[in-house]
Structure 1
């Protein structure tokens, strides 16, 4: 199970995540988020992330010129599109900065079915996504809600590797070990406050996934 810890704002937290063996570190470039970082903050954090640990830039409906400027200033590895971006927009934006990318899909148990989820994934796969991230739907928030969605809507035959997010913590992540997913993405479940990680919770989470 691959693990991404997301929403870092503190250097000590990044160091702890790396020491614990996190596969990826996520930085949020969405100003309304309580976990958002500035370019200068991001530069300082990325300096502490060694090779073989991926840096993921989470963006929400970011304009192409803003993304190009961000890529020029912050050395990230992967874009995580977490807004309303279409497959075509993701493809165009990622091409502009020559980065690999994944798309977050917010899953709504009231309107989504396995077929609709698979169809949405297929569209992003055709546009060149490297993975898909499934998160809980909220009408006014682009993730970071701490809520779970109905895990029965996780496809078993996805055309892209699935990363699961939404309401994960050390107590429930072990339930995912037999599910058809590539990795997990956690933020609130390893925090004591927004953007501030709890070392004990991070350690317990990694232990729960067998890291």
Structure 2
């Protein structure tokens, strides 16, 4: 069985980076989107990225940003993964992939079977599809969960991950139902909006690892 992949997103301080790394997260996420309470400037993102050890991947999250501008930011921050979390079209994702050597993820809001099927049009261009709850006030980080049963019944033909309202209390059941190879938490590991909690990060990572290890086969 592949090792569990665990992403802690919306990190904005050195202490939060350190907490995620210490807890065993495989990916840390930096949000560059001004309306988000987890937004970090380009300079701040670059500084935080320097703190991430080589064995942990840095994910830069952007929302509906023009490809040229995104490329400029990528040159400064130097992430391992670019996560597109808005209404970017498949053609947009294709353009980013063709002009970058980064791993590209596309976040998809899933509300029903039809939206899950429609998401597959990104499959040729994104390295991973990240299934999230439908967008609320923000594209992500709203603490809302999607219907895990949709993913449990779906035949996945692309690399994928699960986000949306995950925390230490529900991630085991989410993994049991969906067999998600990657889980992603943000609001579920916070003590206040945009403020990461060291203990919650540790508890989430521990629960996710245990649940993935318990999966049959």
When the two structures are superposed, what TM-score results if normalisation uses the length of structure 1?
A: 0.91
In the alignment, what sits opposite 1:147? 144
In the alignment, what sits opposite 2:214? none
Residues 25-61 of structure 1 show CA distances to partners (whole Å, capped at 9, x for unaligned) of 0000111111010011111111110112111111110
Cα 1:161/1:97, change in 2 over 3 Å: closer
User: Per the alignment, in what secondary structure is the counterpart of residue 97 of structure 1?
Assistant: coil
- The number of equivalent residue pairs is 205
**Structure 2, gaps ≥5 residues long:** 211-217
In the alignment, what sits opposite 1:130? 127
Q: Is residue 206 from structure 1 mapped to residue 198 from structure 2 by the alignment? A: no
In the alignment, what sits opposite 1:57? 60
Distance 1:17 1:184 in 2: 14
Distance 2:31 2:116 in 1: 27
Kindly report structure 1 stretches of 4+ aligned residues shifted beyond 4 Å: none
Residues 59-83 of structure 1 show CA distances to partners (whole Å, capped at 9, x for unaligned) of 1100122111101111101111100
Residues 124-168 of structure 1 show CA distances to partners (whole Å, capped at 9, x for unaligned) of 112x21111111113543111101111111153111122111111
Distance 1:66 1:196 in 2: 28
Aligned 1:161-200 pairs, distance under 5 A: 161-178=159-176, 179-200=178-199
**Structure 1, gaps ≥5 residues long:** none
When the two structures are superposed, what TM-score results if normalisation uses the length of structure 2?
A: 0.89
Distance 1:202 1:140 in 2: 24
In the alignment, what sits opposite 2:215? none
Kept in 2, the 8 Å contact 1:164–1:185? The answer is yes
* CA deviation after TM superposition for structure 1 residue 193, in Å: 2.1
* CA deviation after TM superposition for structure 1 residue 198, in Å: 0.6
Of 117, 120, 129 in structure 1, the residue corresponding to residue 118 of structure 2 is 120
* CA deviation after TM superposition for structure 1 residue 122, in Å: 2.5
